[in-house]
């Protein structure tokens, strides 16, 4: 069976999620108010929040089961920090 969760795929997805939330933070920090950007943020934020939690769990499981690779470990760590900040901002 072909394994879809490889180091490369996991790293790409993790860094994409982290970069999305960094981009949203920059848009809010610089108060960029363009309607089309606001629409995309509204559409994509909840799926990215869910993906953040799911891929954090998958990443931790992958790191436990497989040989540790530096880039994958860094991407999971960045995703954990991003999840902590993002979910912590709700409280």
- One DSSP character per residue, 70-88 reads HHHHHHHHHHHHHHHHHHH
Q: Which pTM does this prediction carry?
A: 0.93
Q: What is the pLDDT of residues 20-65, one digit of tens each?
A: 999 999 999 999 999 999 999 999 999 999 999 999 999 999 999 9
Contact 84, 20 (CB under 8 A): no
Q: What is the pLDDT of residues 66-90, one digit of tens each?
A: 999 999 999 999 999 999 999 999 8
| Residues 62, 29: Cα–Cα separation, whole Å | 34
Domain ranges of the chain: 7-88
CB atoms within 10 A of CB 86: 19
């Amino acid at each position: 069976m072909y394994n879809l969760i490889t180091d490369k795929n996991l790293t790409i997805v993790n860094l994409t999620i982290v970069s999305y939330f960094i981009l949203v933070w920059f848009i809010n920090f610089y108060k960029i108010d363009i309607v089309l950007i606001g629409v995309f943020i509204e559409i994509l934020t909840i799926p990215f929040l869910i993906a953040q939690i799911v891929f954090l769990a998958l990443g931790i499981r992958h790191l436990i089961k497989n040989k540790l690779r530096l880039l994958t470990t860094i991407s999971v760590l960045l995703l954990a920090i991003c999840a902590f900040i993002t979910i912590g901002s709700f409280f």
